[in-house]
Amino acid sequence: MGFADKRVFITGGARGIGAAVAKAFVGEGAKVAINARSEESIESCRRAHGHDYLGVAGEVGQRDACFAIIGRAVEALGGLDVLVANAGIFAEVPFEEVTQEEFDANVTVNLGGVFFCAQAAMPALRESKGNIVAVASDAALISYAAAPAYSAAKGAVASLVRSLAIGYASYPVRVNCVCPGNVDTDLLHEAAAQTSDPESYIKAAGDRAPVRRMAAAEEVAAAVLYLASSEAAFTNGVALPIDGGGTAGFD
């Protein structure tokens, strides 16, 4: 897919979708750096994949932290061709129970992590004529009443992607996002563990899509690689559902 020696940085790259994306890029010959909250998480991913990823630990969200993380990644990689803005948090909190802390966390991590990492990476991406792929959610495209703060932040990510796609098209820097439905990851199982019936939660997560299963992280990774590749050179400002038909309608 044209990624040999391309320099790729993935936020939230040590597990779940991010780890699958990292592994897929390495398989295509890219030079990959991953971000996670801790060095321990990065080392765990290295052991699991048998690959010595470049690692940049730190929490995304606040502007200064994002600039520091991106700066270290660009230095370690010797430039940047692809930013995958994947780091995020998730919790189902009913609308009337959303606290200021819950709201701020969603805006800071789910939106701010994309916004400020993209802002910090843009000079390097302009130089390389690279691109950004953000990981949003099907909750950015359809109603998700169980998690309104999360849905609002992810909807803002999809809107941001369109704004950046237009604003930087002439450089050219492309900006797209994927919008996964339920994905069989640790994050989903952690959400299930917070309920009174985790088994039923996981079953319902699989049944929600018309294809009656969850996505594998590798299926989302495949879409990320496509959007980042030269094969998608004329694809810009897209919010691509990876949801088994969940946003298409009802049967």
The residues carrying an active-site annotation are: 150
Query: Helix or strand or coil: residue 227?
Result: helix
Q: And the tokens for 234? A: 């004329």
Alpha-carbon distance of 134 to 141, in angstroms, equals: 14
Which residues have a Cβ under 8 Å from the Cβ of 188 and sit 6 or more positions away? 90, 182, 202, 205, 214
Longest dimension (CA), the chain: 51
Cα distances (angstroms) measured from residue 204 to each of 12, 161, 165, 192, 200? 26, 30, 35, 10, 6
